[in-house]
């Protein structure tokens, strides 16, 4: 995972804003994500928008959307942001 993924997952709004302002990372880039159970990595294709929405970080979701995060982006398990959104 890259810093944008970690900041989005952790709810660090200021860090997400800084990374987006610097255009350091592609907001729609899926990456390798550790499973919540186990020590191994799997290529899940999860994007920052999914991580922020799963964590309930509405401000980060709005920020990512304002930077053209794709709402129809699908991870490798077939989950889409729109389906995850129901959790917040």
78: confidence class by pLDDT, cuts 50, 70, 90: confident
Question: Which pLDDT does position 19 carry in this prediction?
Answer: 95
Question: Which pLDDT does position 38 carry in this prediction?
Answer: 45
How many helices (H) and strands (E) would you count in the chain? 5, 2
Report CA torsion sign: 39, 45, 50, 74. negative
Question: Which pLDDT does position 86 carry in this prediction?
Answer: 59
User: Strand 41-46 vs strand 31-34: parallel, antiparallel, or unpaired?
Assistant: antiparallel
Domain 3-87, CATH class in plain words: mainly alpha
7: confidence class by pLDDT, cuts 50, 70, 90: very high
CA angle 84, 85, 87 (to 5 degrees): 80
pLDDT in tens, 18-73: 999 998 888 998 866 555 544 333 457 788 998 898 888 999 999 999 999 988 87
Closest CA relative to residue 1, chosen from 78, 59, 75, 87: 75
Sketch the domain layout of the chain as residue ranges.
Answer: 3-87
């Amino acid at each position: 995972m890259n810093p944008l993924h970690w900041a989005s997952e952790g709810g660090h709004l200021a860090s997400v804003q800084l990374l987006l302002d610097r255009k350091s990372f592609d907001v729609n880039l899926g990456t390798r994500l550790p499973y919540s159970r186990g020590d191994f990595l799997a290529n899940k294709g999860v994007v920052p928008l999914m991580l922020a929405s799963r964590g309930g970080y509405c401000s980060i979701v709005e920020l990512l959307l304002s930077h053209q995060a794709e709402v129809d982006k699908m991870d490798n398990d077939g989950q889409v942001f729109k389906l995850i959104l129901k959790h917040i």
